[in-house]
Amino acid sequence: MKSTQKQGGQLPLVLFLVFISLVLIIVFASFGSVKVEAKDVFLSLIGRQENEIYKNLIVNIRLPRVIGTFLVGAILAVSGNVLQLLVQNPLADPYMLGISSGASFGAVLYTALNSIYGFTLFLGLEGFSFLFAVLSTFIVLIIARQGKKLPILSLILSGVIVSFLFNSFTTLFTVMYWKNLIHVNLWLMGSTGNLAWSSNLKLLIILLVQFFIVLIFSKELNVLAMGEEMAVYSGINPESIKMLLILTTVLSVSFTVSQVGIIGFVGLIIPHIVRMIKGPYSFISNLYSVFFGGIFLMFADFLARTLFAPTELPIGVVTSIVGAPIFIYVMRRKERL
């Protein structure tokens, strides 16, 4: 690998990926219950669409969904990459810190309170799942903390334990009130169908902030990925940087989950594939995770919408069906991490 590949010299390829992403956004936006020509999507995009129905369909329904899906995929992939580098474990994923179990519990709890006891809580389903995702992660971090340190192994273990705990409560609620909770289960398996421009704006801001922080600390993240002792040898306080990067990741993923439910495998597999192609160098692998994650999830969403149309599959099911074989393949040639 030439050293330029670790640093500069990325511009042509990145521009190419930007271009491909834009083309794919237009292509995927043209599919759905009503097929729209890519040309019409493009015309709507630049504000030249005269057919009001098309315009409404594309600008208010299709585009926000496709673009939002890209953003979600990008956030999940970058988060996965940061966490894998940080805990030096290529099998880590953004949900390992208890985010998904916390979010599920929050969603189920809200639905139970709302539909059974008739409370209408001002935070809504999204707010509840976000809060509980953050809460469960904080519990994980508190349990894992030893003195001022946050050892990786205890982080992984407490993640597993807290996830079990929250999942049991979720199951308990589901068993007790199962009739009312079926739609929550569907929501939990993920869907980007409800994404609107307003949430896309928030997702975009989150992605930009996250990417900016990762960019500023890219050297530190590289050193941490070589081990905490290496960080100390290189004059870096491993604990504070680890904490900052974990917090950024947790907040980003929790918000994303609250918007679209739990979409697995993107944060696990995409970073893997990116590092196989581009190496682990943090700036590069995060940059490419944005595009690979976004494109992968747009594709998964496309399959979810069209495979059994007019029925829509939960996108989490598609990513798992596509992702699991890739994951097994990658694991089996694990000499290359």
Partner 1 sequence: MINIDKLKFTYNNGFSLNVDELDVKKGDIVSIIGPNGAGKSTLIKIISKILKNYTGRIMIEDKELSNYSYKEISRKIAIVPQEFNTTFEYDVESVISTARLPYSRRFSFFETQEDKKIINEVLELVGLVKYKNKPFSLLSGGEKQKVMIARAFAQKTPILLLDEFSSHLDPGYTQNLLKLVKTMAEKERKTVLAIFHDINSAALFSDKIVVMKDGEIKYQGSPKEVFKESIMKEIFDIEVYIIEHPLNKIPQILYK
Nearest residue (CB) to partner 1, 6 versus 202 = 6
Task: Name the one range near partner 1 by CB under 8 A: 124-132, 137-145, 274-282, 324-332.
Answer: 274-282
**Token digits for 29?**
């936006």
Give the contacts of 203 (CB within 8 A, at least 6 positions apart). Answer: 68, 71, 72, 75, 195, 255, 256, 259
Restricting to residues 235-264, which ones interact with partner 1 according to CB under 8 A?
235-237
CB of 98 to partner 1, least distance (A): 23
Cβ–Cβ < 8 Å for 207, 67: no
- Contact characters 189-218, partner 1, x per CB under 8 A: --------------------------xx-x
Task: Name the one range near partner 1 by CB under 8 A: 62-70, 197-205, 225-233, 294-302.
Answer: 225-233
Q: State yes or no: residue 337 binds partner 1 (CB under 8 A).
A: yes
Q: How many residues are recorded in the chain?
A: 337
Q: Which long-range CB contacts under 8 A does 90-93 form with residues at least 24 apart?
A: 90/272, 90/275, 90/334, 90/337, 91/268, 91/331, 92/156, 92/268, 93/264, 93/267, 93/268
Among the listed residues 12, 35, 117, 229, the single contact to partner 1 using CB under 8 A? 229
CB of 226 to partner 1, least distance (A): 5
CB atoms within 10 A of CB 173: 22
Residues that bind partner 1 (CB under 8 A): 1-3, 6-8, 85, 88-90, 215-216, 218-220, 222-223, 225-227, 229-230, 232-237, 275, 279-281, 283, 336-337
